[in-house]
Amino acid sequence: EAGVAQSPRYKIIEKRQSVAFWCNPISGHATLYWYQQILGQGPKLLIQFQNNGVVDDSQLPKDRFSAERLKGVDSTLKIQPAKLEDSAVYLCASSLVAELFFGEGSRLTVL
Amino acid sequence: KQEVTQIPAALSVPEGENLVLNCSFTDSAIYNLQWFRQDPGKGLTSLLLIQSSQREQTSGRLNASLDKSSGRSTLYIAASQPGDSATYLCAGYSGNTGKLIFGQGTTLQVKP
């Protein structure tokens, strides 16, 4: 069974530039999550989708972050404009019921 | 605010030791607790999931338990091996907020 796919694995940009991350969840998983993990910390939920609807985006900085999940499958997370403090690993996860499965993550460095 | 504390933050042990990692929640209304492993530069790998009707789960040399009355979970690793070296994170669903909350992790080093 294929796992959660994410791309790109690494991205380096300058502040004020934009970046987009892509996630393909495990087939059949209705729930998709985007987490931000800063070095040395646990992951922080940015947004949770159930199919193509948003369940929780309370910690998403909506002035610069946006996410969509068209057709209830793939998802894209965008940051525009990026700030230095956005340097982190962006993790995508999916679940069918209770257990979460994570992708390898996309490491963002903002210079 | 729901917080999750993992103790210790770091641990170094010789190969072969049995060890216990601890996870505690300020909100004891926890259900569905999951333990993950994270290798450097990698994503999180699910190790064990304890669902709301369960008190513990076992997989190979790993055993996780959940005491809902105290809001505490432990991950027991038997006969540790160098390949067990990684960061271990616990995450629990809060019954009060409906959110999955992560701890900061325990970084384990097992020396040959």
DSSP of A26-42, one letter per residue?
-TT--EEEEEEE-TTS-
Tell me the helices (H) and strands (E) count for chain A, helix number first: 0, 11
Of the candidates A102, A2, A111, the one whose C-alpha atom is nearest the C-alpha of residue B102 is A102
User: Chain A residues with CB inside 8 Å of B46's CB?
Assistant: 99-102
Residues 6+ apart with CB under 8 A from B60: none
Q: Is the pLDDT of residue B90 over 90?
A: yes
Nearest chain A residue to B43 by CA distance is: A104
- In the prediction, which pLDDT does A25 show? 96
- Which residues of chain A have a pLDDT value below 50? none
Q: How far is A95 from chain B (nearest CA, A)?
A: 11
B2 band by pLDDT with thresholds 50, 70 and 90? low
Of the candidates A103, A111, A110, the one whose C-alpha atom is nearest the C-alpha of residue A9 is A103
| Maximum pairwise Cα distance, chain A | 39
Q: Do A100 and B45 touch (CB under 8 A)?
A: no
Given CA atoms A85, A86, A88, A94 in this order, what sign does their dihedral have? Answer: positive
Residue A31 CA: distances (Å) to CA of A34, A74, B45, B78: 10, 11, 17, 33
- Beta-carbon neighbour count of residue B99 at 10 Å? 15
B95 band by pLDDT with thresholds 50, 70 and 90? confident
- Report yes or no: B75 and B20 within 8 Å, Cβ to Cβ: yes
Mean pLDDT across the stretch B8-15? 95
- Judging by DSSP bridges, how do beta strands B100-102 and B44-50 pair with one another? unpaired
Q: Is the pLDDT of residue B65 over 80?
A: yes
Cα gap B11→B24, rounded to integer Å: 17
Q: Is the pLDDT of residue B28 over 70?
A: no
* Element holding A50 (H helix, E strand): strand A44-50
Q: Do A102 and B36 touch (CB under 8 A)?
A: yes
- In the prediction, which pLDDT does B1 show? 63
Q: Is the pLDDT of residue B68 over 80?
A: yes
- Report yes or no: A106 and A94 within 8 Å, Cβ to Cβ: no
User: Chain A residues with CB inside 8 Å of B93's CB?
Assistant: 98
Residue B17: what residue type? E
- The region of weakest confidence among A12-16, A70-74, B13-17, B74-78 is A70-74
- Report yes or no: A108 and A88 within 8 Å, Cβ to Cβ: yes
Q: pLDDT over 70 for what percent of chain B?
A: 97
Facing A103 at nearest CB: one of B36, B43, B100? B43
- In the prediction, which pLDDT does A93 show? 96
- In the prediction, which pLDDT does B14 show? 97
Enter the DSSP assignment of A58.
T
Contacts with B, A 3-62, CB within 8 Å: 4, 6, 40-45, 56
Asked if A91 reaches chain B (Cβ–Cβ under 8 Å), the answer is yes
B79 band by pLDDT with thresholds 50, 70 and 90? very high
Q: How far is B48 from chain A (nearest CA, A)?
A: 9
Q: How far is B2 from chain A (nearest CA, A)?
A: 13
**Beta carbon pairs, A and B, within 8 Å:** 47
User: Average pLDDT, whole number, for chain B?
Assistant: 91
